[in-house]
Chains A and B, each alone.
Chain A
Amino acid sequence: MEEEAGEEPGFDSTPAPRVFQFYHMDLYDSEDRLQIFPAENARIRRETVQAEVTGEPSGEGEGKDQRDLHEDVGELARLYGLEDDHEIGDDEFVDEHRMRGSGYPPYGMKRTDAAGEQSDWRRSTEAAEAQELGYGGWGLAGQCQDLREAYRYTQGRASEEYECYVIPEEEDEEEAADVFCVTCKIPVRADGKNFDDHREHEVTPLNKALESAKEEIHKNMYKLEKQIIEMENFASHLEEVFITVEENFGRQEQNFESHYNEILETLAQKYEEKIQALGEKKKEKLESLYGQLVSCGENLETCKELMETIEEMCHQEKVDFLKDAVTMADRLGEFLKTETDGEISAQPDFEDQTLDFSDVDQLMGAINTIPAPSAPVINPQAPNSATGSSVRVCWSLYSDDTVETYLLSYRPVRDSSPGKDQAEFTLTVKETYCSVRNLEPNTQYEFWVVAQNRAGLSPSSEHAVYMTAPSPPIIKCKEIRSCEEAALVCWESGNLNPVDSYTVELTPVETPGASGVTESLVGIPTCEALIQLLPGQSYVIYVRALNVGGPSARSESATVHTTGSSFHLNKDTCHPWLTVSEDGFTVVRSERKTLAREPLPSNTRFTRCVAVMGNLIPVRGRHYWEVEVDERVDYTVGVAFEDVPKQEDLGANCLSWCMRHTFASSRHKYEFLHNRTTPDIRITVSPRKIGILLDYENSRLSFFNADIPQHLYTFSCQLHQFVHPCFSLEKPGCLKIHNGIAKPKHVTFY
């Protein structure tokens, strides 16, 4: 312990631990962390030293002879130091390095037990000692002693080193800048002697300056990053261009070569043709001349023969001569009559013949042009690519065709008027796709495309049929029915032609617990949907129509509340003497008795009892609604199956269950009618608001005086179908229906 005891002041006095403040990680540390460092550092120091000591035995084992360790240990220690660190003087580095190298917990973890401070430090030193002793236990006593000496030496030395090294640091530390002079862009110490120089300057706290500098650096880094990304993009773009140039030129070369070959072929062909023609001409001429020569020779022969014959005749007797001369003269005359052709039948010279090189010229001219493209291939419609007024048409072509523009033509497909010419439209497009706009919704269009370049037009592609998305449906807001667990939403298609299906999107609104996630119900074939919901929520609902082209835009929204059950009155069932108010929930039977005649029997409309039926959502849950009544009015409220006989009173059959109130001679009579029977029930307080609980789960229908609240009666009823609320007025008056209200707690007992 004495070693440490002797050392302790040294540690406290030496500013060595502060060296640690220059660890890079400290730059980002808060001030309070900086404050706790000294104590921590002492611990780390200790541990480091300990590590050194425990590292010693290997070295000791080598030194078998009784060397004077007093002398050598310093060297050994230095050796160890050097072994690890190469530069014994570089203490702050050394310590960090050792600390990490010797498997001690990382520096960052140490920070947390800063509170340990001095006591912790003690424990640590004790531990160090204990370890020493332990070592001494297995080593030789002398060695142990020596080691202790060595340890002390190392320790001493270490602190010496610290001292040597650290003194300037300490000064620095004292002068450590705490503010930043913005003007000079250097950190200065606010109370330092040099601060006067900056007194007039703009200064900021160092931390702030550091922050801003870091921020600045981050900004610049961000800029650089952006630039790098841009450069990379540019490079890849260049690469693409490079490839394109290669491809284009390659194609052009091919093109040129083929053209060149074509021209050569043409020329060669022309040469052949000409040579042949010339030879034939020559042969013809020579033949003709030869024939002339032969006939000329023949003539000459004949002349010579005639001469000879005449000469012979001249030598003959007179008589003979005369005889022969007549013959001869005839023959001669005949001969002379035959014209000797002195004209040369064939001219030796060469007639001027023009060579026709027009086709070659054309070829030569075409050497820089390209062939007309082949027919493009039009793609079938991609799913969800259409809107209500546009479709995106795509096509492709053989890659080596050069195309300047495409001519995209279309016309609506209408089966109804095949004979009638439909207007055709053509668009000129550069790309291999086109969004065609201003189309009719939910309509099929026929598209075809022709490619074009300087050389001409390609053949037309096949015709493809694309379809625009439907128009958005229209939610029938007034017909939405709901209860706590579901809503029945219906809508108008909004499209003349049928669509494939509908999608309902629902989003819970303004409830903190709700996810707010939009759910979708897809593939709804009809114009209504029963949507399962959570109770006590509000939902915004949209509907989309779908066809092959894609979904329509969203319909106008509708809001559904799953508080209680909401229904509306079915005016088709309404007795003609009843009127339903504007808001749809007040039923009035007026005083006028002009409509005395009974309406004709009907299957949907009440004709006997002056009643109207509501449309309750077909969900087998629990439904509650209330009816405000006038105590003096005769009314009947309850439920009935949809097919309840309309020419019978409510409760007069087994398809309806109801409560009837009659007021006569200032007495109230309450009947709970089903199949013409009622229990005998006396009620002392006339209800002004009747609560009705329809409970499919327990097959019950209960009536309450909602104001008190008092249970009046409960029917047990077998509800094999869905029933609907019914309201009837036996005398002039009105009923006010309250809808979409939460079930009061008291009704949950029934």
Chain B
Amino acid sequence: MALKQISRNKCFGGFQKVFEHNSVELKCKMKFAIYLPPKAETEKCPALYWLSGLTCTEQNFITKSGFHRAASEHGLVVIAPDTSPRGCNIKGEDESWDFGTGAGFYVNATEDPWKTNYRMYSYVTEELPQLINAHFPVDPQRMSIFGHSMGGHGALICALKNPGKYKSVSAFAPICNPVLSSWGKKVFTGYLGTDESKWKAYDATHLVKSYPGSHLDILIDQGKDDEFLLDGQLLPDNFIAACTEKKIPVVLRLQEGYDHNYYFIATFITDHIRHHAKYLNA
């Protein structure tokens, strides 16, 4: 697994780098961004994985969220993978913004023609962490995950499907209950087929109901003026209700006036980094 460095920029004493590698899981070249805080020069640091939303690449988060200062201060290595396989020449992959390229949805597709490449769930939970652990000064025992929108959904399902694997999880405007949202219905049908029972394996609200109760502290920020919230794509209340019932600790902060974009993320990114640092640096 050769890594090819695409870029390297000093940032808050550390380095923001972008690498490219050949993904076994996705059978294509994948890029990921990694921020190495100054602390990583002398010791192994915890790894925090960021999963981006629809249409994003590894670039959006590192250029727009302004996470670097907090990550540098808390000594966290932050990894931001791409959101889907790219250039796989699958018919229809670039037809819509909410399916195919840029919309991997962090699932392992079971349907043709997607099932060969669209294995983002395995990629972000297995292949990428192994790659990172092997090549960078990170402590494999300390990892957390967070994300935005589709990435928030990804973060939640990764954490809920792997109790104990992630020390903490947080999300910005996550798609909390995709089986009930139009986005979710579309992509799950495409990647997983029409059997809705299979979808539940990738639905945070459903996963909560079977979550074994390993401690997880979930922080969710949600802009109140988020058009996708109003559109019923995100459905945080369903997730909150499920968590309340299962007594899974969630703090959902409904932020007055904020919408769905990176300005909203940048506003609260520090709170999220701190949330993860609390568990990763405990």
Task: Give residues in A with beta carbon < 8 Å to B.
Answer: 679-685, 705, 708, 710-713, 745-746, 749-750
Contacts and interface: CB of A to CB of B under 8 A. Distances in A.
Contacts of A682: 236-237, 240, 250-252, 254
Contact of B277 (A679, A710, A712, A749): A749
A746 B275 CA distance: 10
B275 A711 contact: yes
Contacts of A710: 217, 249, 251
Contact of B250 (A680, A683, A745): A683
Contacts of B237: 682
Interface centre among A684, A711, A745 (most CB of B within 10 A): A684
Given A682-B251, A682-B252, A685-B248, A746 B278 contact: yes
A705 B249 CA distance: 9
B195 interface: no
A710 B255 CA distance: 19
B252 to A, nearest CB: 4
26 contacts: A679-B254, A680-B253, A680-B255, A681-B252, A681-B253, A681-B254, A682-B240, A682-B252, A682-B254, A684-B249, A684-B250, A684-B251, A684-B252, A685-B243, A685-B247, A685-B248, A705-B249, A708-B215, A708-B217, A708-B249, A710-B217, A710-B249, A711-B217, A711-B251, A713-B251, A749-B278
Contacts of B215: 708
Given A710-B249, A713-B251, 6 more contacts: A680-B254, A681-B254, A684-B243, A711-B217, A712-B251, A749-B281
B236 to A, nearest CB: 8
B282 A746 contact: yes
A318 to B, nearest CB: 182
Nearest to A747: B278
Residue from A681, A683, A708 with most neighbouring chain B CB atoms (10 Å): A683
Main secondary structure of the interface of B (DSSP, over half): mixed
Contacts of B142: none
B224 interface: yes
Contact of B274 (A684, A705, A749): A749
B234 to A, nearest CB: 13
Size band of the interface chain B makes with A? 20 to 34
Nearest to A685: B249
A546 B117 CA distance: 86
Contacts of A713: 251
Contacts of A712: 251
Given A710-B217, A750-B274, A684 B248 contact: yes
A747 to B, nearest CB: 9
Across the A-B interface, give the 8 residue pairs with the lowest CB-CB distance, nearest first.
Answer: A680-B254, A684-B243, A682-B252, A684-B250, A749-B278, A684-B244, A685-B249, A710-B249
A449 to B, nearest CB: 76
Nearest to A707: B249
A708 B214 CA distance: 12
A608 B275 CA distance: 37
Contacts of B231: none
A684 B243 CA distance: 6
Contacts of B252: 681-684
A155 to B, nearest CB: 69
A680 B223 CA distance: 10
Contacts of A681: 251-254
B123 to A, nearest CB: 30
Contacts of B95: none
B256 interface: yes
Contacts of B248: 684-685
A750 B282 CA distance: 13
A685 B256 CA distance: 22
A679 B254 CA distance: 7
Given A708-B215, A710-B217, A745-B282, A683 B274 contact: no
B93 to A, nearest CB: 37
Contacts of B281: 749
A231 B248 CA distance: 89
Given A685-B247, A708-B249, A680 B224 contact: yes
Nearest to B241: A684
B240 A684 contact: yes
A680 B274 CA distance: 20
